[in-house]
């Protein structure tokens, strides 16, 4: 059984994700991005080592929508 989580996302971010993934549903788009992120993370860890090396997440910047 899969758990369902509802997350509120800024409209600009949702549109960017939908354009990136080519989907028409923001929920599907975010799910695809998260799944891709997890797959890439697992592949990267397999090549470089553990994710808990203390170097992750320290320099993340908050999302800034494009000007326009």
- What average pLDDT does the segment 11-24 reach? 91
Query: What is the model's pLDDT at position 52?
Result: 59
Query: What is the model's pLDDT at position 19?
Result: 92
pLDDT in tens, 27-45: 899 888 888 888 887 766 6
Element holding 11 (H helix, E strand): helix 11-21
Helix 26-48 × helix 11-21 angle, to 10°:
70
- Tokens 């592949």 sit at which residue? 43
Predicted TM-score (pTM) above 0.85: no
Element holding 28 (H helix, E strand): helix 26-48
Query: What is the model's pLDDT at position 39?
Result: 84
Burial class (CB in 10 A: 0-12, 13-18, 19+), 29: buried
Token couple for 10: 């800024």
């Amino acid at each position: 059984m899969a758990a369902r989580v509802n997350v509120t996302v800024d409209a600009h971010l949702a549109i960017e994700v939908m354009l990136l993934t080519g989907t028409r549903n923001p929920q599907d788009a975010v799910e695809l991005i998260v799944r891709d992120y997890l797959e890439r993370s697992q592949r990267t860890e397999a090549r470089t080592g553990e994710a808990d090396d203390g170097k992750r997440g320290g320099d993340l910047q908050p999302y800034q929508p494009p000007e326009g």
